[in-house]
């Protein structure tokens, strides 16, 4: 009788051991990492708070310039989803075989605007910057899509020869905002969604898309994310109506699913 009890206890202990071994892999499914462009910091933080309040699972967010994040993916970053501020970054991932075309979905659009310090009333357009001598802040075009759009606007308005040497390249749009908000630069070119959330800057001019490449934010499910139920659920949430309303509250335009 005692022998049978000992064997039964051993069996239970073995099953508990297996459970402990297997449990981390289940926990891993319940936590994901999303890499997102810096211009999405406020809205994505809000969105994931809403998501986690309604669903099980933990979502960690990491923000930087789209080019920096894309480089991290190329170097093996263990992320599940990636939201870039430009298709150029996702196209490079496709070309290098890190993701497939059908892993990419068009999510959002935005608008480029010229901003200056709130109390500086002299600048009302990019042309007015010609009368000043200070720097103009834009994102670093090598890594920041907003910086590439800004360069296109300056070139297409025929102002590159006058303003090109005065450009101050920043690591992301948040740094551009910070320079303008403290009055350290004469003006900056950023997304409208960033400008409207900074009380110390004022939008002086907004640009139509004929002056620059159409702004698209692709949503990418990465190979690690394709294996995660949670990542697929978050992807569906971001493409759904509840997320659409929150994106629009922050000033983003919602796109269809075509790129």
- Which pLDDT tens digits describe the chain residue by residue (259 residues)? 333 333 344 343 333 333 333 434 444 447 999 999 999 999 999 999 999 999 999 999 999 999 999 999 999 999 999 999 999 999 999 999 999 999 999 999 999 999 999 988 889 999 899 988 899 999 999 999 999 999 999 999 999 999 999 999 999 999 999 999 999 999 999 999 999 989 999 999 999 888 888 899 999 999 999 999 999 999 999 999 999 999 999 999 876 555 4
Give residue limits of the domains in the chain: 8-109+216-254, 112-211
| Longest Cα separation, the chain | 98
Q: Is CATH 3.30.1160.10 the classification given to domain 112-211?
A: no
The C-alpha atoms of residue 207 and residue 226 are separated, in whole angstroms, by: 37
The C-alpha atoms of residue 239 and residue 242 are separated, in whole angstroms, by: 9
* Polymer length in residues for the chain: 259
Q: Is CATH 3.40.190.10 the classification given to domain 8-109+216-254?
A: yes
Topology match between the domains 8-109+216-254 and 112-211? yes
């Amino acid at each position: 009788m005692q022998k049978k009890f000992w064997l039964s206890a051993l069996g239970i202990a073995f099953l508990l051991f297996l459970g402990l071994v297997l449990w981390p892999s289940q926990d891993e499914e319940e936590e994901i990492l999303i890499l997102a462009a810096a211009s999405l910091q406020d809205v994505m933080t809000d969105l994931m708070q809403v998501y986690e309040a309604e669903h099980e699972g933990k979502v960690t967010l990491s923000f930087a310039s789209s080019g920096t994040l894309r480089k991290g993916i190329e170097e093996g970053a263990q992320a599940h989803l990636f939201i870039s501020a430009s298709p150029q970054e996702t196209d490079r991932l496709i070309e290098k075989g890190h993701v497939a075309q059908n892993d990419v979905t068009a999510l959002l659009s935005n608008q480029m605007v010229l901003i200056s310090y709130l109390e500086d009333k002299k600048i009302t357009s990019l042309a007015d910057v010609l009368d000043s001598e200070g720097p103009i802040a834009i994102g670093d075009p090598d890594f920041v899509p907003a910086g590439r759009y800004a360069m296109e606007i300056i070139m297409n308005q025929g102002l590159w020869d006058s303003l090109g040497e005065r450009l101050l390249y920043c690591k992301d749009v948040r740094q551009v905002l910070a320079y303008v908000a403290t009055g350290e630069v004469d003006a900056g070119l950023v997304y409208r969604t960033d400008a409207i959330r900074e009380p110390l800057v004022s939008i002086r001019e907004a640009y139509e898309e004929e002056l620059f490449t159409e702004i698209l934010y692709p949503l990418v499910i990465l190979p690690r994310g394709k294996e995660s139920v949670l990542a697929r659920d978050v992807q569906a949430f971001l493409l759904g109506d509840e997320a659409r309303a929150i994106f629009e509250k922050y000033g983003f335009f919602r796109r269809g699913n075509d790129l």
